[in-house]
Amino acid sequence: MQLQMDQARLELRLAEARLEQFTLRAPFDGTVGRLDVSTGQVVDSQNPILRLIRSEELWIDANIPTERTYELGTGSSAWVTSKSGNDAAPIEGRIESLSSVIDPKTDTRLVRVKIQNLGGLLVGAHVTVAFTPPDAARALGGDSHPRSLAVADHASSPDLDHGSPQAASIGELSPTPSAAP
């Protein structure tokens, strides 16, 4: 009887070790945005099998008319408002980077804003961004150059529509975010 118990424990440990070999652990909490494999498919370590979206922090890549960017600086505040129609309060973020290159076709610069996604914005939604506090903009009787922005995930950020000065994307932060061009 003891021999059978020892044998069963050994088989259990071997099964647990085998299971551990086939277990994937993400380097951060997130949501599976896309699954690129199906049950029974053979995979290898060189090809991605899913896209994991980190959505607690997001960035907004906004193409802003160049003349409006000279007053902006890294670390400056920006305000992001959801266009979902729920009258959500603007989310304050920080300018993470300003491109050192002007798009000659549209006369815009890429401005990257990082926000804490406390409002649960979805990658793919639409937002508005402004570079003056909402109360100050209303007091001045203006909107302080808000921009309507499309929300996209990190992988599609390079595919921005650079033909429009209002084109932008929101993406999840990767574990090692790249700098804006």
Q: Which class is domain 54-172? A: mainly beta
Tens digits of per-residue pLDDT, 150-180?
Answer: 443 333 332 222 222 233 445 544 433 333 4
Among 41-45, 53-57, 119-123, 135-139, where is mean pLDDT lowest?
135-139
Strand order in the sheet with 108-116: 147-150, 126-130, 77-82, 91-98, 108-116, 57-65, 168-172
Domain boundaries, the chain: 2-52, 54-172
**Mean pLDDT, range 10-19, rounded to an integer:** 94
User: What pTM did the predictor assign?
Assistant: 0.61
Q: For residue range 29-73, what is the model confidence (pLDDT) as tens digits? A: 878 888 888 888 888 878 888 888 877 888 888 888 999 899 899
Is 157 within 8 Å of 63 (Cβ atoms)?
A: no
